[in-house]
Structure 1
């Protein structure tokens, strides 16, 4: 494709364009891909790629690696498949590492059919599967609770002479967690897999298989869609030797099984481990989901008495305490947020959004916490997500506040701006 057809002066062109050659575009794609989760800009990759095409700059293999990893990190399956198709049109066949990233994206998007399709495509093109590929497939299929297909991948691994490692057992746990309906067998299986994982053998890969991921700054936790993925780079947040417990205890929180949680915490202690921040956070979340505020507070106090807690622990306690909007829970939530603020922890957009959504559901009372969270974010010029602002605005309106109230007018103005900015986009990435 040629350059833009509009005649433009060289000075104007240079001012308007942010990249002029493949190296500069690769840098742009790498920068967009490296964005942190709570300031994700992965949706801009497609726009930047379109600009590259309009500028007549020819992509190379590294370009597509950057683009597909970015699509994976942003869970943008439609974009990932689009970049794969573009790559093929230019005569570049995806290699096994790119297929791994594509399969991982299927898992993040909960599209197991697309993952199976990619497996068939690999076989058709003679692309040899690596240990990582099997684990990507296992975890992608686990995302939709396809236990039969997960077991089939395990059999394929065994036939290929590969042992199961902790990420395989994590996938098995996730598969049963996501299998509907949840039964007594679900929790029994989760405990069994934790026990079985203690004898895991290394899959024959590690150094040679991981080099591409290290280069692209993709952790194994992110590649396999583990719940610890966004925390694994945080100092002292996640102890990697406890991967199985992370996944299993997260499953307990999702499935609201306090009994299984306590069995696992006992096993963890007997194995000689102490709670890391992720374990404490998920255990608290489980107790709070089950309405057991006392046990959640106990976990929080035990952790904070010996370690410096991250802001997420405060947010988990405050958000969970607001479930049901009971007087005691709302009081605990307010005290927790105040304590967090007094320790100079600040809410980012994601944590603030979570708290505002939880607080905005309060139907009676003075709306104290919702107003407090909103003010904390406004003071730092952080805007919550559109759904959170909508919920907060609705709660204010239900309280018969005068239409010229400064707070209501400010929230209304923010809501209008967000509605304009985040209307329907050209591609929703809902499916491949």
Structure 2
């Protein structure tokens, strides 16, 4: 009886908010069939699969679980394609719990997960840095008589590399070699990632990175299978499946990413994090008479700025822009953010000048790039807070909303400067901060 009372109490609020179906599965059908058909966004499994695919394409993965719940309430039985879309969405937002929930649901409905679905699960484990669970998935595949393919082993390799488990990574390489599978560029990229994430840091890191980059130039073309075509249809690139740092830039055009440089991309990313090895990698590219793409240039600028050599980062930026080999907002954002490291007077001025140049080129600064810049600029404890104010104004001029973390840092920075409460800027920031805080917390 107490349960029913609590359910009825929740239902009262759910009706008010229009969320009754989230409480107990009850739905009101006191409207005409025509009116109900207008409200319902899907009527069969094909339409639900289309909705799931659309949400994945729009990167609105937070709605996938709601769509699945609606399918269950409507009595629509999911298909294998349904669970593939749900697994891809869980992988992209690193929700390992949801991924395993869909696997259990799949089995409950009499569907045996196939190799593509298991690959998505292993990739999700890699994003969550849980190599133990990834290895258990491989064992489950064997017990379910699902034959692993090349992508399975590479996903597992990268899942172990994410935790710096070099021992497991080399064991996977030995298994692949024993099975007659060649190592491709993604395998060598995984080896670089494994050494980068190894703790404690190994003394032979530089030598290993150079070795793997050299060996990747003669990588063996491993046999592909139907899973690759399916991933392409679902919009999942190899870089995304293996959790490479270039996953967000694969579809960029204008020379942003040369996919033949996969091992170089991973190496330059690691070099920027550790603030070394960049010059050696650039020399290797020069000997091959190859031009760095925009992603590599971004990593080089990031490395120089993180190492405290802002002048060199600025010079490399200017040389690349003047060469006419490419241009992108990320180049300006990287230099502007890197120049702010340490919040020196010179660095802050270079950062502001770079932002002005970017604005003059009419480059669009999206929410992600703007939030990263604002979060960095908001950390300035002294000075006129000019950079943070300028970044805020740029975003507001384009009606771009920063993240909660960026707005909170900017709000605290303004409060620390004892700005009057009736200041228009502070009032606007306070309003946005309160709205975001109530929405996301």
Structure 2 unaligned runs (5+)?
Answer: 1-20
Identify which of structures 1 and 2 has the higher relative contact order when contacts are C-alpha pairs closer than 8 Å and 6+ apart.
1
Q: Give 2:308's match in structure 1, choosing from 291, 298, 306.
A: 291
Report if the CA contact (8 A) 1:4-1:55 is conserved.
Answer: no
Greater mean alpha carbon deviation, residues 338-347 or residues 301-310: 301-310
The alignment partner of 1:323 has SS state of coil
Report if the CA contact (8 A) 2:42-2:48 is conserved.
Answer: yes
Say whether 1:6 aligns with 2:28: yes
CA distance in 2, matches of 1:14, 1:366: 58
Match of 1:19 in 2: 42
CA distance in 1, matches of 2:369, 2:148: 39
The alignment partner of 2:236 has SS state of coil
Deviation at 1:294, TM superposition (A): 1.7
Deviation at 1:209, TM superposition (A): 4.1
Say whether 1:51 aligns with 2:51: no
**What do the CA deviations read for 1:83-116 (whole angstroms, capped 9, x no partner)?**
1111111111110111111111111121111111
Match of 1:30 in 2: 53
Say whether 1:278 aligns with 2:295: yes
Report if the CA contact (8 A) 1:287-1:295 is conserved.
Answer: yes
The structure with the larger Rg is: 2
- 1:2-401 counterparts in 2 under 5 A? 4-9=26-31, 10-35=33-58, 40-203=59-222, 205-206=223-224, 208-235=226-253, 236-257=255-276, 260-306=277-323, 307-401=325-419
Report if the CA contact (8 A) 2:294-2:326 is conserved.
Answer: no
Kindly report structure 1 stretches of 4+ aligned residues shifted beyond 6 Å: none
* TM value normalised by structure 1: 0.93
CA RMSD across the alignment: 1.5
CA distance in 2, matches of 1:207, 1:313: 37
Report if the CA contact (8 A) 2:249-2:257 is conserved.
Answer: yes
The alignment partner of 1:275 has SS state of coil
Structure 1 unaligned runs (5+)?
Answer: 424-432
CA distance in 2, matches of 1:326, 1:183: 33
